Structure 1
Amino acid sequence: MTFTEPEEGDRPVPSWPLTLSFIVPPHSAQFGYGGTLEPSDYLKRLTAYMDAAEAIGVTGAFVYDFPVAMDPWLAGFDVLAGSTALEPIVAVRPHQESAASVARRVADLGYRFGRPTHVNLVAGATRPSRAAADDHGDKVAARAELGRYAERLRTELDQRCDPATGRSLLVTPSSATPGLVPADCVLMMARPRTALAESVDRAREEQHTDRVSMLVGVVARDTEDEAWAAAHRLGTPDRRQQIAGRMFMSQVVSSEHLASYALAEEEEIHDERLWYGAPARGIDAPKLVGSVDQVAAWLMSCRALGVTDLIIDLAPDSAEYALVGRVVQACVCP
């Protein structure tokens, strides 16, 4: 989503965030566990989330590809078919799909729906999905191959996609492993501001991009006390959720997730309101907790550090997006 702000003289003030995205809800009863829903129930939930997200101006729809998730291309099709403006960002594993095959799917979806589908290049967050990638022998070699794949995919997309549909962007998660992966935007989880500043600077220098997208959850209410009460209700321990979180954590190899786990072990709350206390933290991004104005102020501090785009982590209920919308509006018109 691109906001229009007042102009300063002859120069327009850059909009922020450049894009606003959300996480597409899964077809399971809970993320990562709980059994699959009936297709009609899944589509009803998906529609409720998409309608609520679109109502606050969300245009990006991130589709995960964890081992228990539905095929991300099918979920992306559901997003395009069931929404009016959402553009899916589909997770793609290079060792599973050729660049030509991915570009063909993106081009065909653009033809079918008249708006772009974007690609999130992931090396694989969990060990089972990394089996083929580990054949490269080491992480540096695997990242170099990811970079070459990104170059091939960009070429294929430029050749196959209709420019009138809109440019399909390449996104890739930040990584502690050195090596250029040419992409339009680097994705990272929220983290304490000192660490965030270091991560943003490194990503921009190493990956040669000015676009940095931050994934964060939001629990905002009219007052700080109401927000923390809501956060603790959402984070009420659930045995199945805790087991699913521990199982996920035991399989993870993603440096982004591992960094979040380390921060969660250090302290439950960082930088006043960055909360790592959810029992499913093995799956969830950290959450900003506070009043609408407090959360907006924290996000605006991230703008000053170089964050350009926002991804709102999966909310427990579609009604949460109305509050997220108030936060984002406060960022636009502080």
Structure 2
Amino acid sequence: MAIGSSDAVPEFGWYMPTRGDGPFIGVKPERVVDTPYMIKVAQAVEEAGYTFALIPTGGACTDAWIMGATLAAHTKVFKPLVAMRPGLIAPALAARMGATLDEVTGGRALINIVTGSSPDDMKAMGDSLAFDKDARYARTLEYIKIVRQLWINSHGVEGNKLLASRSREKEIEPLNFNGTYFTLEGGVSYPSLVQRPHPPFYFGGSSPAAKRTAAEIADVYLMWAEPVDWIREQIDEVEFHRKELLRTQGIDRKIRYGIRAQVVIRDTEEEAWAAAKRIVSKVDPAVLADTELRFSQAESAGQQRQNRVRRLSAKDDYVIGPNFWAGLSTIRGGGAMAFVGTPEQVADRFLEYIDIGVSSFILSGYPNLEEASLSGRTLIPAVQRKLRERARQAQEIAAQG
């Protein structure tokens, strides 16, 4: 896909609220998010037209892999985007986990590479590189190269034959790897993958080290939603490293780009803004102050960028631009920027991102169960219709010479 082209068909994903769900933020989640509730959300996501969903990791979240496999078993086309965390699981074991998930779901596995999280979470999980960001990205690069090669090496063996063989490891070209962080002797992965060459890797991170790493391993580079010009700059930075990889190593990789955002879709713009502001209507001022302090101390480059957007828009009641709002970022970290408006309005905003090369949208709302249906059934068709209209107009212009 050429940057600035809308040739790539956009994909739309949702978010699984495994740490809690409800109509408000800044207060204790009102709903019990047990497995039956998650299944209900996944089925609503699928019925609304979303093709996949991000399953979060770390903190108070349930395990993404087990939850992802469970949700896939209760849906037909829903694809779970699960977290692969270098440093917490050995790469050869992670490769088998991913291959197995791909096999049991019939080729629906998506992999989210999570290099780090908060220092407290990484310490709690036993990550020895909790305070060394550059080392974590170097480790991630080694890790994913191992996983990717193990998967590619597994292609020659049919899954059923492989599982029936007592010497299956001899039927796969073994991988030997001696790196800074990992060493393998005779590494293999099975079963063979359904998706070829492998399930796509989604990868995020706004630091220079993250963008260099993305150029080598990301199939989809994810960013928390920001103003269009800011996203264009990030895409340009990753593209620079991608082109350097081609120039210096002869490796020509194709990378898609995606954003993570909130959505509030209603029949009228007035209703949408009222619904958006209701989400933060129960926040205690003391909680706001504590959150602001915590965000100001964040080491994450992505969170620092979100902080900057929030500060710049504060004087305008956190309105960043047409149908784009930073109000949720006063209490919610990560991808907190929200698109607010009618399906037609938000579709127009999405086309602005599609025009600069974005083709993956991972969305969420409060509560996620209802908002998936409200947005998916109206917003996704609106975007698709507008893209078809553009294509038809372009063909008519071309036909006229």
TM-score bucket (shorter structure): 0.7 to 0.9
SS of structure 2 residue aligned to 1:66: coil
Q: Distance in 1 between matches of 2:298 and 2:45?
A: 29
- Does 2:15 align with 1:23? yes
Aligned residue among 319, 322, 334 for 1:269: 319
Q: Distance in 2 between matches of 1:292 and 1:273?
A: 11
| Partner residue in 1 for 2:304 | 258
How far 1:69 moved relative to its partner? 1.0
The amino acid across from 1:322 in the alignment is: S
How far 1:244 moved relative to its partner? 8.4
Aligned residue among 53, 65, 69 for 1:61: 53
How far 1:102 moved relative to its partner? 1.0
Verify the 8 A CA contact 1:21 1:61 in the aligned structure 2. Answer: yes
| Partner residue in 2 for 1:153 | 147
The amino acid across from 1:164 in the alignment is: V
| Identical counterparts, % of pairs | 24
CA RMSD of superposed structures (Å) = 2.8
Q: Distance in 1 between matches of 2:46 and 2:111?
A: 20
How far 1:318 moved relative to its partner? 1.7
Query: Computing the radius of gyration over CA atoms, which structure comes out larger, 1 or 2?
Result: 2
| Partner residue in 2 for 1:287 | 338
The amino acid across from 1:186 in the alignment is: Y
Provide structure 2 residue ranges, at least 5 long, that are not aligned to the other structure.
1-5, 155-189, 243-252, 387-401
Query: Per the alignment, do residues 286 and 104 of structure 1 end up closer, same or farther by CA in structure 2, a change over 3 Å counting?
Result: same
Higher mean C-alpha displacement, 178-187 vs 278-287: 278-287
Query: Per the alignment, do residues 93 and 32 of structure 1 end up closer, same or farther by CA in structure 2, a change over 3 Å counting?
Result: farther
| Partner residue in 1 for 2:220 | 185
- Does 2:321 align with 1:299? no
Q: Distance in 2 between matches of 1:62 and 1:272?
A: 27
Verify the 8 A CA contact 2:203 2:220 in the aligned structure 1. Answer: yes
SS of structure 2 residue aligned to 1:25: coil
Query: Per the alignment, do residues 313 and 127 of structure 1 end up closer, same or farther by CA in structure 2, a change over 3 Å counting?
Result: same
Map 1:1-334 → 2, pairs under 5 A: 14=7, 16-17=9-10, 19-28=11-20, 34=28, 42-131=34-123, 135=129, 138-158=132-152, 159=154, 160-164=190-194, 167-178=198-209, 179-181=212-214, 182-207=217-242, 208-239=253-284, 242=288, 245=291, 249=295, 252-267=298-313, 268-278=318-328, 279-325=330-376, 326-334=378-386
Q: Deviations over 1:45-74 (max 9, x none)?
A: 212211221112212121111221112222
Q: Distance in 1 between matches of 2:294 and 2:109?
A: 28
Query: Per the alignment, do residues 201 and 283 of structure 1 end up closer, same or farther by CA in structure 2, a change over 3 Å counting?
Result: closer
Verify the 8 A CA contact 1:157 1:168 in the aligned structure 2. Answer: no
Query: Per the alignment, do residues 191 and 27 of structure 1 end up closer, same or farther by CA in structure 2, a change over 3 Å counting?
Result: closer
Query: Per the alignment, do residues 135 and 106 of structure 1 end up closer, same or farther by CA in structure 2, a change over 3 Å counting?
Result: closer
Q: Distance in 1 between matches of 2:61 and 2:257?
A: 26
Query: Per the alignment, do residues 196 and 165 of structure 1 end up closer, same or farther by CA in structure 2, a change over 3 Å counting?
Result: closer
Verify the 8 A CA contact 1:285 1:313 in the aligned structure 2. Answer: no
If the length of structure 1 is used for normalisation, what is the TM-score?
A: 0.85
How far 1:127 moved relative to its partner? 1.0
Q: Distance in 1 between matches of 2:72 and 2:43?
A: 12
The amino acid across from 1:180 in the alignment is: T
